[in-house]
């Protein structure tokens, strides 16, 4: 198992800056954000120009990672592959193919994405649509020796009423996602906040968990008593602010990282545990963000036998 980090939390920095810092801080691998840089998500970042990725970019990237003794665990483009706007959906699919092509050129084993959802249609219709359009993307990746992995984030931000916007948030849905050919970028924080014990999900799906993200979650039970499970209604400053939970870096939330990492080891996980930093306390500028990443490293480094 390697301890890595997702680069999306440092959109202001270039990939060479991030690689140099991560190596000095003791990280072993990077999960590189490859959004095109044209969207509006807070944690969207563009650290590799995959849409125009030629031999020169390949050589420069491989040399950078070799120079800093880092692995490249995955390329990250987490977007809505079932977007209701056909033009936007095609933009997403096109960029995902660019990410897959770049992964093939670099020898990167995985590209991460979301299943997503058309929030104007019920779940049953989305499942039927996914079965129609998503296997083509899985096949495109497989023909290039790249695996597509989906993260189990709920993505309420994509639904106007705060309902799940990514149909891969529960073990029931994972089994359906696996039937389409995807594998899992497992994140325990999303499980805990929807009432699922993350540790209990490792053993049954260990053969499909090929990449994992390390993000913690802090839960305010008294606020949940006020707002209910679905969260604050009508007065959210940001769509994802439910009022009773927030993401934290590992070690500052409710996740039992000793049990998580031990169970991953027990089940033979040899991939990358990648810190996904979305902690509002340790964010705002690169100095605070990197301090948060150091807290995460301090929590996980004694547990991850690299």
pLDDT, tens digit, for every residue of 112-141?
999 999 999 999 999 999 999 999 999 999
How far is 96 from 76, CA to CA, in rounded Å?
9
Q: In 10 A of CB 86, how many CB atoms?
A: 8
C-beta of residue 138 within 8 angstroms of C-beta of residue 148 = yes
Mean per-residue pLDDT, 28-46: 80
CA neighbor of 275 nearest in space, from 292, 263, 288, 287: 292
Enclosing domain of residue 74: 2-300
pLDDT at 136: 97
| Per-residue exposure over 144-168, b if at least 16 CB sit within 10 Å of its own CB, e if not | eebbbbbbbbbbbbbbeebebbbbb
pLDDT at 41: 53
Q: Choose between 31 and 45: higher pLDDT.
A: 31
Q: Choose between 52 and 234: higher pLDDT.
A: 52
Signed CA dihedral, 178, 180, 183, 187: sign only: negative
Q: Is residue 209 part of a domain?
A: yes
pLDDT at 43: 55
Asked whether the predicted pLDDT for residue 239 surpasses 80, the reply is no
Contacts of 7 (CB under 8 A, 6+ apart): 15, 18, 30, 31, 32, 33, 45, 47, 76
Contacts of 151 (CB under 8 A, 6+ apart): 78, 112, 114, 166, 168, 184, 185, 186, 187, 190, 213
Q: Is residue 305 part of a domain?
A: no
Asked whether the predicted pLDDT for residue 238 surpasses 80, the reply is no
How far is 190 from 111, CA to CA, in rounded Å?
20
Least confident window among 34-48, 103-117, 135-149, 248-262 = 34-48
How far is 39 from 118, CA to CA, in rounded Å?
18
Query: Which secondary structure element, helix H or strand E, spans residue 163, and what is its range?
Result: none
Q: Is residue 72 part of a domain?
A: yes
Mean per-residue pLDDT, 13-24: 97
Mean per-residue pLDDT, 266-294: 97
Q: Mean pLDDT for the chain?
A: 94
Signed CA dihedral, 37, 187, 3, 255: sign only: positive
C-beta of residue 159 within 8 angstroms of C-beta of residue 117 = yes
Q: Is residue 306 part of a domain?
A: no
Query: pLDDT tens across 71-103, in order?
Result: 999 999 999 999 999 999 999 999 999 999 999
How far is 258 from 131, CA to CA, in rounded Å?
37
How far is 96 from 149, CA to CA, in rounded Å?
12
The model's pTM: 0.95
Mean per-residue pLDDT, 207-228: 96
Asked whether the predicted pLDDT for residue 306 surpasses 70, the reply is no
Q: What is the DSSP letter of 68?
A: T
pLDDT at 176: 97
Residue 254: phi, psi to the nearest 5?
-100, -10
Asked whether the predicted pLDDT for residue 305 surpasses 90, the reply is no
CATH number at residue 253: 3.20.20.150
Query: pLDDT tens across 210-220, in order?
Result: 999 999 999 99
- Total of domains in the chain: 1
pLDDT at 38: 55
pLDDT at 37: 77
Mean per-residue pLDDT, 203-208: 97
According to DSSP, the β-strands at 216-219 and 245-248 are antiparallel
Q: Choose between 74 and 234: higher pLDDT.
A: 74
CA neighbor of 49 nearest in space, from 10, 12, 5, 101: 101
């Amino acid at each position: 198992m390697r301890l890595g980090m997702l680069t999306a939390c440092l959109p202001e920095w270039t990939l060479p800056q991030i690689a140099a810092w991560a190596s000095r801080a003791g990280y072993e691998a990077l999960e590189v954000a490859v959004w095109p840089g044209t969207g509006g998500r807070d944690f969207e970042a563009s650290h590799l120009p995959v849409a125009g990725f030629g031999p020169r970019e390949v050589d420069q990237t491989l040399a950078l990672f070799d120079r800093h003794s880092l692995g490249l665990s995955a390329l990250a483009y987490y977007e809505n592959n079932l977007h209701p706007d056909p033009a936007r959906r095609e933009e997403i699919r096109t960029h995902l193919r660019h990410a897959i092509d770049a992964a093939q050129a670099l020898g990167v084993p995985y590209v991460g994405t979301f299943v997503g959802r058309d929030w104007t249609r019920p779940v049953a219709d989305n499942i039927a649509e996914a079965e129609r359009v998503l296997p083509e993307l899985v096949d495109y990746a497989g023909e290039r020796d790249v695996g597509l992995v989906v993260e189990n984030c709920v993505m309420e931000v994509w639904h106007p009423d705060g309902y799940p916007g990514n149909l891969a948030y529960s073990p029931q849905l994972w089994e359906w996602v696996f039937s389409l050919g995807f594998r899992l970028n497992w994140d325990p924080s999303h499980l805990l906040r929807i009432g699922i014990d993350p540790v209990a999900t490792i053993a049954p799906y260990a053969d499909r968990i090929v990449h994992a993200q390390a993000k913690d979650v802090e839960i305010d039970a008294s606020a949940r008593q006020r707002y209910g499970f679905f969260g604050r209604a009508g007065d959210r400053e940001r769509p994802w602010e439910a009022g009773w939970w927030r993401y934290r870096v590992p070690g500052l939330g409710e996740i039992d990282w000793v049990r998580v990492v031990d169970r991953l080891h027990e089940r033979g996980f040899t991939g990358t545990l990648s810190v996904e930093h979305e902690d509002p306390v340790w964010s705002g500028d690169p100095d605070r963000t990197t301090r948060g990443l150091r807290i995460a490293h301090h929590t996980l480094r004694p547990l991850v036998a690299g």
